[in-house]
Every structure is written in C-alpha cells, then in structure tokens.
Copies of this chain bind each other. A is one copy, B any other.
Amino acid sequence: MSEKGTQISEFGKYGLISHLTSDFKPVNKSTVKGTGDDAAIIENGKKMTLVSTDLLLEGIHFNLIYTPMKHLGYKTVIRAISDIYAMNGTPEQLLVSLGISSRFSVEQIEEFYEGISLACIKYKTDLAGGDTTSSVTGLTISVTAVGSAEKGNIIRRDTARPNDLICVTGDFGASFMGLQLLERERRLYEKDKNIQPDLSGYDYVAGRQLKPEFPAAVLQELAGAGIKPTAMIDVTEGLASDLIQICRSSGTGCRIFYSRIPVDYETGKAAEEFNIDPITPALNGGEDYELLFSVALEDAERIKQLKSVKVIGHMTAPGTGYFIAGDDGSEVELTAQGWSGRK
C-alpha cells in the first residue's frame, strides 16, 4: 500500500468518521439516527432499538501483560453497554466476535468469556451472538451492544442548549493514571524479571483501568427525581473531548470549572508521582466510563439533591468557545485530543 496521500493523523478521531460518512443518506424509515451519536437509533413502533459497536485491538486498547483475560472480558462488556446507557437506553443483548491467534489456549478464551458472563449477569444483558475467527496478530475483539428505549426517553448528544448545567458522575483521570502505573511496572519488569509489580496504595486507579463499572443506577436516580437530561454522552475518550463532542453536535459553547472536576485522592497521588497536574488525566485521560450530561437550569435545585451527580459548569451561547476556568478567574481553552494510539 502506498504511504502517499493524506495522513489519517491529520483528522481528529471524530473528524475522520464524520468526514467518511457525511455523504451517506438513510433510505429506510426505521433509521432514525445514523452515524454521529453513541448508538444507532432504529424505530420499531413505540419502542426504539439502539445498536452500538466497538473494536478493541491488542497493543492499542489493551496490553495482555498486565490485563487478566477475565477482566478484559468484563471491560469489553462495560465498554459496549456504556454506549447504550449514554442514550438513556437499557442494554439487552451483546454480540462478541473474537480474532484469536494460535498463541492463545482455549482456557484463556474461556477466562475471557467468564468475564463476559460476570458482566452480563451484573448488567442483565444477554450474549446473543458473535463468532470466533483466527488471527495472525494477537487478540482482536469486536463487540456490538443492542438495547431498547421508549421513544420519548432517548437522550442524544446534539440537544444541549445554552445555559444548561453540565453534570458528571464519578471521578476522572483514575483509569489513565492506573494505566500509567501498570505501564511503569511493566517497563521495570521487562528490565528485571525479578521485580514484582508494586501497585500498593493504588488499588482504586488500577481497578478503574482493569475492571471498570458503569454508573447505570444514576439513570434511574435521574428518572426518579423527574430530571431528563437535555444531552448525554459516556466519557470514554476523555472529559474534554466528549464535552466538546456534545457542544459541537449541539452548537453550544461551554464553561467548566477547574475546582469542580471530581478527581480521586489516588489519582492525585499518582499524578504527583509522575509530576503532572491531575487535571490533565482528568480532562484528557479517557476510559472513565462515567456519564456526562446537561440539564435545564430549572432543574438546578433537584440535581443538587443527587449525591452521585456533580455540576461542573454550564453550556454557553454558540461561538463562545470551550473553556475551563481557574479559581483565579483565568480561562484556558479545552481541546479535543486528536487521533492517538490509546483510543
């Protein structure tokens, strides 16, 4: 193949796919929403079917030196259902296809499926299909999640409005710092095989990287409190990147506040060890598997009652940019991370 032509790195992640798919026009009336959101929306009478797909490659999305196969299976499910929850849907089915090189034993693949099974049970999702194929290059995982939602309940990315409050669940940057620690231990181990990995004091961040959960219960809390977010996304690329994605789709600007971004103690401690500001992994780390959503200003009082949700800023008028404000009033522009190896 030729190396000539436009480099793919010239496009951002979201830029490339929208460039490639912008000319496709749906012809089936069941296609309500095609490319450009967390999941495809397919109409079936009153109920809507949501479908999303993910591709996970060894050496890009996971490293088997420190990732147990069972955790990898579990995380594969979380990653897939995350896209369905992000539309306010309920995941119901999963299809998992594997490309497996001869390096793997059946027992290892069984462990992977054990992890799939554990997550399926916990998140009440059925394995409903998939396949295995041989591979020359390690492990490749393709996962499709199917879910459902009532027509009026779906929450898209492109419907945030100026002045809406920007809300998040959980905390940010932990998974990324967990990955840095695991990578550091791997490098030490490769230099000296007698060294035992030492992650003491970092159980939380390592766990967030290796076996994440999804805050599905928050969707019920929101419904219970009578709050319907105006737009929603799951944070997998990074808080900044996913927030900008909502803003671009909705045509809004945003202001978030440095001091309000939730960061766990361990994330801060690990960032200190690596001599970086914890806000960097929190904004750009990714793989947080948290919800990011906007709510109407009139829901302000009700949203503050929910302990699992934190308001971190607000949407602003179109064309006013994407900014994070410091305590001293200074403002820094948020940037979406481009095409990177670790996405």
Residues of A within 8 A of B (CB): 1-11, 13, 16-17, 19-21, 23-24, 26-28, 30-31, 33-35, 37, 39-40, 42, 44-45, 47, 49, 51-55, 57, 59-61, 64, 92-93, 95, 97-100, 102-110, 113, 117, 120, 124-138, 140, 142, 144, 146, 148, 339-341, 343
Whether A53 pairs with B128 at a CB distance below 8 angstroms is no
Whether B35 pairs with A129 at a CB distance below 8 angstroms is yes
Known: A23-B117, A45-B45. A28 touches B93 (CB 8 A): yes
Known: A7-B106, A109-B20. A140 touches B99 (CB 8 A): yes
B6, B19, B95, B125: the one within 8 Å of A105 (CB): B6
Whether A1 pairs with B106 at a CB distance below 8 angstroms is no
10 shortest interchain CB distances as A-B pairs: A5-B105, A142-B142, A40-B128, A44-B44, A6-B106, A137-B137, A40-B129, A55-B97, A26-B126, A5-B107
Chain B residues with Cβ under 8 A from A133's Cβ? Answer: 13, 55, 57, 60-61, 343
- Give A8 Cβ to nearest chain B Cβ, in Å: 6
Whether A64 pairs with B1 at a CB distance below 8 angstroms is yes
Whether A129 pairs with B92 at a CB distance below 8 angstroms is no
Whether A131 pairs with B5 at a CB distance below 8 angstroms is no
Whether A60 pairs with B134 at a CB distance below 8 angstroms is yes
Bound-state Cα–Cα, A292 to B228, Å? 49
The dominant DSSP class at the A interface is mixed
Chain B residues with Cβ under 8 A from A100's Cβ? Answer: 8
B8, B53, B127: the one within 8 Å of A95 (CB): B53
Chain B residues with Cβ under 8 A from A135's Cβ? Answer: 57, 60
**Which residue in chain B gives the minimum CB-CB distance to A142?**
B142
- Give A134 Cβ to nearest chain B Cβ, in Å: 6
When all copies of this chain in the complex are counted, the total is 2
Chain B residues with Cβ under 8 A from A21's Cβ? Answer: 113, 127, 130
Whether B55 pairs with A105 at a CB distance below 8 angstroms is no
Chain B residues with Cβ under 8 A from A26's Cβ? Answer: 126, 128
Known: A108-B1, A146-B51. A120 touches B24 (CB 8 A): yes
Given A3-B105, A28-B92; 9 other pairs, CB 8 A cutoff: A3-B103, A6-B105, A11-B106, A21-B127, A27-B125, A40-B128, A51-B129, A53-B129, A134-B340
Chain B residues with Cβ under 8 A from A138's Cβ? Answer: 137
B23, B33, B47, B134: the one within 8 Å of A341 (CB): B134
- Give A277 Cβ to nearest chain B Cβ, in Å: 26
- Give A243 Cβ to nearest chain B Cβ, in Å: 18
B20, B60, B104, B148: the one within 8 Å of A110 (CB): B20
Whether B92 pairs with A30 at a CB distance below 8 angstroms is yes
